[in-house]
Every structure is written in C-alpha cells, then in structure tokens.
Structure 1
Amino acid sequence: MTTPRSMTQSAFFVLTALTDEPRHGYGILQEVEELSEGRVELRVGTLYGVLDRLTADGLIALDREEVQQGRLRRYYRLTDEGLAALDEEAERMAAGARAASRRIAARRAAPGAAPGLAGGTA
C-alpha cells in the first residue's frame, strides 16, 4: 500500500462516503454531495479518477460488480488502510481547525488588535 502524501477534498469525501457501506459510482456522487452539504460536486470523470487513485493506493477496493438494466455497476468498499488514512486526515483537519479557532479567539479577545499580518498590511 502507498499512503498518499496529501488527501484531496474529493478523496476525503469519497472515503467518508464509503465508511458505512459499499457504494457504486452514482451512489458515491450522491453521498459526497450530501456529506459536503453541496459544497463538493464531483463530476463523473473526476470521481473515477479519484476511485482509480484510491484503489491503486489500497485505500478502497472493488467490492462487487452487478449488472443492472444492462449496465455494469462497480461497488467499492473502504479498506482497513483507507479507514486509517481517513481517520488520520480527519484528525489532521480537526487539529488545524482547533489551531485556527484558538487564534481567532485570541484575536477577538485582544482589544485594538491591528488588522492584517504582524508587521505588514493585509
């Protein structure tokens, strides 16, 4: 398995969409849109590029293939490695959000704090 150096927002939401059950492409698209509250709208071509990369990295695997209405549906599932990578990325993002929140709170608590960067202008 090759762990990705950085996880894209699309990959993060695809992995998140697969945490509870295997899904096919269209199901993943719908779940990502719901999970991201509409902020991430994957196009089909982008989705399959992400799926190919996540499969190559060992983070997801083909679960099964089914023919429905004459079309092949591939279902993907999250691997243990994928769950670990998702957990690590979620913690990294949460730590970043906590750091930002501390800085925002400190800025708001400092009366008369100058806007912009220290020693410069915004």
Structure 2
Amino acid sequence: MGKEAPLTEAVYYILLAVREPNHGYGIIQEVQEMTDSRVNLGPGTLYGAINSLLDKEWIELYSEEKQSRKKKSYIITSKGREAFNSEVIRLKELVKNSEKMGE
C-alpha cells in the first residue's frame, strides 16, 4: 500500500463499521456502540468522510433505496481493507513500542 497518512479516528471507525453493508445512520449507531459513546459522528463528519472514502475507492455504494429519502448502504473495498489493515499494523507497533519502554 504505500505510505498513507494515519487514519483519523472517524475514518478508522467508519471503515470498521462498513465491513458489512451499512447505511449512514447505522454507521453512526455502530461507532457509538463500539466506543461506548466516546465517538459520536455528526452527519457532516460522516458524509464528508464517506465522500472522501468513495473518492479513494476505499468504500463503494452497496445499495440505494429509491424510496424513502434514498437510503444508501456502503461496504469496504479491497483497497479500503488494505488501508485499514495497514493502520492496524501501525497502531500495534505504537502500542508495542510503548510497552517496550515500560509504559
């Protein structure tokens, strides 16, 4: 994958929430649940990140309801999984190095 910048916490959790098809409100709820309400994604943050992830081809549109406000579901792509897995490796290294230093 090359040297990507570290993922923001919001992007990290969005990618985690779309490992199965999920829609915007479902993503917000799942992230809240995963983090015991520590991370609360607002609609602006969520949809800004979704647009960026779509542009990077890290997620893709899975389905779109044509009725009722056109609810869209998204799913992670192989590129997105690669970026996510690279971030997990980076985070594990941070923790490992901290533990080596006795912290």
TM-score (norm: length of structure 1): 0.77
Q: CA deviation at 1:98?
A: 1.1
Any idea what the Cα deviations from partners look like across 1:21-65, whole Å, max 9, x if unmatched? Answer: 110000000111112222211001110001001110110011110
Query: Are the counterparts in 2 of residues 55 and 61 from structure 1 also a CA contact under 8 Å?
Result: yes
Kept in 2: contact 1:23–1:75 (CA 8 A):
yes
Q: Secondary structure at the match of 1:76?
A: strand
Say whether the 8 Å CA contact 1:13–1:36 is kept in structure 2: no
Give structure 2 stretches of 5+ with no counterpart: none
Indicate the residue corresponding to 2:14 in structure 1. 14
Q: Which blocks of at least 5 consecutive residues in structure 1 are unaligned?
A: 106-122
- Give the corresponding residue for 1:65: 64
Runs of 4+ aligned structure 1 residues displaced above 6 Å come to none
Distance 1:4 1:44 in 2: 25
Give the TM-score normalised by structure 2. Answer: 0.90
Higher relative contact order (CA 8 A, sep 6+): 2
Q: Tell me how far 1:97 sits from its aligned partner.
A: 0.9
Secondary structure of the structure 2 residue equivalent to 1:71:
helix
| Cα RMSD, aligned residues only | 1.8
Number of residue pairs aligned between Structure 1 and Structure 2: 102
Q: In the alignment, is residue 81 of structure 1 matched against residue 79 of structure 2?
A: yes
Q: Which has the higher helix share?
A: 2
Aligned to 1:94: 92
Aligned identity (percent) is 35
